Amino acid sequence: MLRNVLGKTFRFLGYTVQYGCIAHCAFEYVGGIVVCSGPSMEPTIQNSDIVFSENLSRHFYCIRKGDIVIVKSPNDPKSNICKRVIGLEGDKVCTSNPSDFLKSHSYVPKGHVWLEGDNLRNSTDSRCYGPVPYGLIRGRICLKIWPLNDFGFLRASPNGHRFLDD
């Protein structure tokens, strides 16, 4: 009787560990569902929109300008932020706010990206905390899931003029 109970308990624990490892690998390397909050990505992503974030791009260094990414916040490592990649290492970026009369530019250092929210007037982004290390990128958002009337791939940046080709 005891042998039977111990056998079932160890089998259950073994399956739990196996499925836990599979789930961890799936969420770490494949992707997951993310609920976005805040106004910084409006109108592309609204508060409480649900998106799918894939994680393979960051592992294979396939992040490009214009991609929307989930990143560990440089200001608060316990939280994630959702921003658009405006510049990759070596790119020249506009570091000033849209309302600034004099525009300032800088180059993105090696191993970093420049991130901005689509809602430039209501976004805390690289214009505030500077370039973000590539290692803080958690995933790339590729699909909006909710609300259903907005289901599909994400639209282009409303701030395309901020991408510099110099």
Q: Strand locations in the chain, DSSP E?
A: 31-35, 50-54, 68-72, 80-87, 92-94, 105-107, 112-116, 132-133, 137-146
From residue 111, alpha-carbon distances to 21, 31, 73, 145 in Å are 30, 22, 16, 31
Residues with a catalytic annotation lie at 40, 83
Helix (H) or strand (E) holding 111: none
